[in-house]
Amino acid sequence: MSVCPFYGRGEKFCDVGADYISPHDVEAISHFCSCRYSECGKFQELAARHPEELSYQPTSARVGRSTMATKESRSKAQVHIAFRNKWPLSYRLRYLSAHNHSIEAQREEKVVMSNAIKNRGWQVVIAGTGINLALGVLYAYSMLKGEIGKLFAGAGDPYATACLAFALSMIIGGKMQDKVGPRLTAIVGGLLVGAGFIICSQTSSYWGWILGFGVMAGLGFGFGYSAATPPALKWFSSAKTGLIAGIVVAGFGIAPVYLAPIAKGLLASYGLHQTMMFLGIAFIVVVCGMAMLVVNPPAGYVPAEAPAKKGATAAKKVAVEDKTPGQMLKDGRFYACWLTYFIGAGAGLMVIGSIAGLAKHSMGEMAFIAVCVMSIGNASGRVIAGVLSDKIGRAATLTIMLVFQASLMFAAIPVVTGEGSSAVLVTLLASFIGFNYGTNLSLFPSFAKDYWGSSNYGMNYGILFSAWGVGAFVLVKLSAFLSAKFGGMSTSFTVAGVMLLVGAVMALSLRPKKATVEVPETVTAEEEDLVLQSAQD
């Protein structure tokens, strides 16, 4: 019996028909057998056993009775072999059984890798939340404002400057985060905030506080904030965008819950300058330490989408095209988002300062309780709105929240104009206004990822976040002007309520267009493929 030149191992160990072989082997065997099948007894045996797999198409060159003609026809004769890149079911099942152990090992390896990725993603979420917990001192500025006012007039100016610097540095920090990663960006933010606070601890001048708190700390807030949310969102699927964004930014909102009593205690014991020194050093340690745990996913990483619930109709997922900032600025949805963000965040900040002053008038030394309750509402609004938007959509959630916020503004007018405002009513009002204000800080980061992708997310959201900074500066100044012109805060609340209703109408334009449902093509599976799939399971 002839020996196959392809394998060179003789008839007894020939792979043809004996066990599973790869498509590459099938191709190689077919080339040999198509030309010299008559020299291989094993091939003839296989053809007899499985005629449905092999079909002979000899050419007319086989005709001839002389020995020379026969040899020539054999060398020239071609046979068409209908290999279908798979061997009969019995052979494939035997291979599957023999390699079952390796399949199970691969499955276990995939499970371990999946769990490691999930753990790393949640580690980034926790670290980002920790960074924001430190940077949230911006919202506790009201606890320092009284002492700052003893140093110079215009105690609110460092805060207003910090808000503008915050919004500006979100663009720069977002670009840096996209280019060099979130770790270095967060470290720069922590160093800037700490250095700014330390400068404030060494000066009592107006311009010293503008530089230290307004410029340096404000820039640090933006760098740190821009490095916390984008990497966390990149580790998770779009089904969890709202939830993850809400958790991370909730740290910024809830920070006054612990910072307000700490600042109150430090001020009473050490005074303003020493307090700023302690806080500056603490922020450098905390932010830079947490920054070591913040990292982007590896290149090419695509988060797994959540499996559809049993019995639910799976929605067709549309891949989001990554857009550059230039492309984003050509998208009409950006301007709708920017204006709605300007109204939602700005109107909230427009009255939050008034609520803090009203709480101090009604509650005296216990006013920090209202600040803490408002912070809890602020943080919970970010998480709840994020989760809700994952369920019913971003635009629907935003519309509901803006209408609710407008209703609160109108309902608050009797409370803020009453002579004997109840401390309980003031606290509840602060909680709900803080809740609705916080929803903006989780919904718009989610809009940015949904509309313009994650590759340039840092800078894209930084540009969108400028609406927060402009809104904080312009509408807070407007509130102060209205209060001075008309007396009291009722006019500010009325204007804020009307603006929020306008924002709710604009939010309706952000609703996604209804997609045409495509009917899936029915694919008939062979019976033996179903048997093989059952064996794999």
pLDDT (tens digit per residue) in 10-40: 444 455 544 445 555 555 666 655 555 566 6
Statement: the pTM of the whole predicted model exceeds 0.75: no
Q: What's the pLDDT at 11?
A: 46
> If pLDDT is split at 50, 70 and 90, which confidence band does 298 have?
confident
* Three-class secondary structure of residue 400 per DSSP: helix
Lowest mean pLDDT among 26-40, 216-230, 373-387, 451-465: 26-40
Each residue of 325-338: pLDDT tens digit?
A: 999 999 999 999 99
Each residue of 227-242: pLDDT tens digit?
A: 888 888 888 888 888 8
**Predicted confidence (pLDDT) at residue 433 exceeds the cutoff of 80:** yes
The more confidently predicted of residues 104 and 340 is: 340
The mean per-residue pLDDT over the stretch 408-437 comes to 78
The mean per-residue pLDDT over the stretch 103-115 comes to 55
Each residue of 157-187: pLDDT tens digit?
A: 898 888 889 988 988 998 898 888 899 999 9
The more confidently predicted of residues 425 and 200 is: 200
Taking CA atoms, 419 is separated from 362, 414, 480, 488, in Å, by 10, 10, 20, 11
Report percent pLDDT > 70 for the chain.
66
What is the C-alpha to C-alpha distance for residues 175 and 534, in angstroms, rounded to an integer?
50
Average pLDDT score, the chain: 76
Q: What's the pLDDT at 491?
A: 85
**Predicted confidence (pLDDT) at residue 8 exceeds the cutoff of 50:** no
What is the C-alpha to C-alpha distance for residues 463 and 338, in angstroms, rounded to an integer?
9
> If pLDDT is split at 50, 70 and 90, which confidence band does 74 have?
very low
The more confidently predicted of residues 478 and 365 is: 478
Domains of the chain in start order, with CATH, are 11-98 (no CATH), 113-300 (1.20.1250.20), 324-512 (1.20.1250.20)
> If pLDDT is split at 50, 70 and 90, which confidence band does 68 have?
very low
The mean per-residue pLDDT over the stretch 435-449 comes to 89
What is the C-alpha to C-alpha distance for residues 219 and 210, in angstroms, rounded to an integer?
12
Each residue of 265-294: pLDDT tens digit?
A: 899 899 999 999 999 999 999 999 999 999
Q: What's the pLDDT at 85?
A: 41
Lowest mean pLDDT among 46-50, 65-69, 387-391: 65-69
Residue 52 CA, chain-centre distance (Å), reads 54
Q: What's the pLDDT at 364?
A: 67
Lowest mean pLDDT among 133-142, 244-253, 305-314: 305-314
Taking CA atoms, 133 is separated from 128, 138, 293, 392, in Å, by 9, 10, 15, 29
What is the C-alpha to C-alpha distance for residues 287 and 274, in angstroms, rounded to an integer?
20
For 488, other C-beta atoms within 10 Å of its C-beta total 13
* Three-class secondary structure of residue 365 per DSSP: helix
* Three-class secondary structure of residue 529 per DSSP: helix
